[in-house]
C-alpha cells in the first residue's frame, strides 16, 4: 500500500482568534493619505437608493475645487458615460439633497445656472465652507542673550524738563452715508410666451345644398365602420359636415374624401375630431375652374363661310368690306 502524505494539511487553517482578516469578502488594505484626498460620508458611499453612477458622480463633484464647471457636457467629455445617463444621475442627486441647481439672472440680463454641492444632505448653510488651509508652522522664540555686567554709575547732569506737547486737535467728523444692502438676485422669470394664433376656420360651401350636407353626414357616420380608430360624436359630425360638403362642391368624390381622411393615421389617435378637422383644412382641394361654353358655328349670309358667333350674320371679312360696298 502507498504511504499517506502526512505533510499536506487535511483542510484550510481556521482564522486565528483575534485576527482582523476576514475569512471571506473584501479585505481592506488602507494607507494613510497626507494630501490630495476628499472625505466622503458613508451616507453617500453606502446609499441604499442612489445608483452606482450617481454615487460616483457625487464623489467626483465633491472632490473638485470650487468654480469647476460640472454641466452635463463637461462631464460627458470627461467620462465615457452618455449625456442621458449623466443627466439622470444629476437628477438623482438633486432629489436626495446632494445637489441643487438654480437659475439666476445677472445684472446684465444674462441667465446662469448656479450649482451647489452638499456633502451632507439637509444642510441649511447657504455659504460654502472654505477649503482647509495649511497649518501654520510653530514659531519658536529667539534665545535671549545674557545681560551684560553692570558698570559703575556716572554722574550726569539732569536733562531739562521737556514741555508738555500740545494736544492735537480732534479730526473733523464727516457724515458717513450708510450703504444700502445689495438687493438679492431675482429668481429666473421666463419671458412671456406669445399667444398662439387662433386656428383657421372650417371651410364652408358656397351653396349649402341639402343633398351635399346629407352625403357629408353619411360619410362621417360611416367612417368608424371602415376605420375603428375614428369614432365621432353626433356633435362632431354636425360640426364637420359643412367642410366635407365643401369638398363635394369642389368636385371631390366620396372615395377620395374617405382616402384623405383615413390614410396614414397616427398611432395612437387621441383626438379623432381634431385630427379630421386639421386634414379637412390642410388638404382642401382648390375650387373647380369655371368652364366657358364656346360660341356656336354660324354660316356667313354673304360668302357662306363658317365662323363662330352667338348670333347669325356676316363673317369678319364681309363685315369689314361692307363700308366699301356701300360707297360703290
Nearest to 260 by CA among 274, 271, 244, 249: 244
pLDDT (0 to 100) of residue 239? 94
Report the C-alpha gap between 258 and 267 in whole angstroms: 18
Q: Where are the beta strands (DSSP E) in 32-110?
A: 99-105
Residues facing residue 105 across a β-bridge:
111
pLDDT (0 to 100) of residue 146? 56
pLDDT band at 287 (very low <50, low <70, confident <90, very high): confident
pTM exceeding 0.75: no
Mean pLDDT rounded to a whole number for the chain: 78
Domains of the chain: 42-117 (1.10.10), 210-282 (no CATH), 297-327 (no CATH)
Reported as a single tens digit per residue, the pLDDT across 161-219 is 555 555 555 555 555 566 666 665 555 555 556 677 888 899 999 888 899 999 999 99
Check if the beta carbon of residue 77 is closer than 8 Å to that of residue 86. no
Residue 110, classed as helix, strand or coil, is coil
Angle at 288 between CA 285 and CA 291, to 5 degrees: 165
pLDDT at residue 83 tops 80: yes
pLDDT-wise least confident of 25-29, 178-182, 197-201, 259-263: 178-182
Amino acid at each position: 500500500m502507498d504511504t499517506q502524505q502526512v505533510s499536506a494539511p487535511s483542510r484550510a487553517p481556521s482564522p486565528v482568534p483575534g485576527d482582523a482578516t476576514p475569512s471571506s469578502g473584501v479585505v481592506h488594505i488602507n494607507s494613510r493619505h497626507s494630501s490630495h484626498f476628499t472625505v466622503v460620508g458613508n451616507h453617500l458611499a453606502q446609499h441604499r437608493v442612489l445608483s452606482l453612477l450617481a454615487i460616483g458622480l457625487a464623489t467626483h463633484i465633491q472632490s473638485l475645487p470650487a468654480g469647476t464647471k460640472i454641466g452635463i457636457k463637461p462631464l460627458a467629455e470627461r467620462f465615457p458615460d452618455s449625456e442621458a445617463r449623466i443627466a439622470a444621475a444629476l437628477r438623482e442627486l438633486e432629489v436626495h439633497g446632494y445637489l441643487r441647481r438654480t437659475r439666476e439672472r445677472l445684472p446684465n440680463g444674462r441667465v446662469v445656472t448656479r450649482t451647489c454641492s452638499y456633502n451632507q444632505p439637509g444642510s441649511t448653510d447657504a455659504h460654502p465652507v472654505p477649503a482647509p488651509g495649511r497649518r501654520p508652522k510653530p514659531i519658536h522664540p529667539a534665545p535671549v542673550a545674557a545681560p551684560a555686567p553692570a558698570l559703575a554709575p556716572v554722574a550726569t547732569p539732569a536733562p531739562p524738563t521737556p514741555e508738555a506737547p500740545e494736544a492735537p486737535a480732534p479730526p473733523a467728523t464727516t457724515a458717513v452715508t450708510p450703504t444700502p444692502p445689495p438687493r438679492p438676485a431675482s429668481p429666473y422669470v421666463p419671458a412671456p410666451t406669445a399667444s398662439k394664433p387662433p386656428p383657421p376656420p372650417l371651410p364652408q360651401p358656397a351653396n349649402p345644398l341639402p343633398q351635399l350636407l346629407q352625403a357629408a353626414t353619411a360619410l362621417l357616420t360611416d367612417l368608424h365602420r371602415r376605420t375603428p380608430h375614428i369614432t365621432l360624436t353626433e356633435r362632431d359630425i354636425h360640426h364637420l359636415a359643412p367642410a366635407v360638403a365643401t369638398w363635394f362642391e369642389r368636385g371631390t368624390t366620396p372615395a377620395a374624401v374617405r382616402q384623405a381622411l383615413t390614410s396614414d393615421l397616427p398611432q395612437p389617435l387621441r383626438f379623432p375630431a381634431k385630427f379630421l378637422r386639421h386634414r379637412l383644412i390642410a388638404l382642401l382641394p382648390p375650387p373647380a375652374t369655371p368652364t366657358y361654353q364656346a360660341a356656336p358655328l354660324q354660316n356667313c349670309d354673304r360668302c357662306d363661310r363658317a365662323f363662330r358667333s352667338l348670333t347669325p350674320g356676316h363673317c369678319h371679312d364681309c363685315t369689314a368690306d361692307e363700308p366699301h360696298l356701300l360707297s360703290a
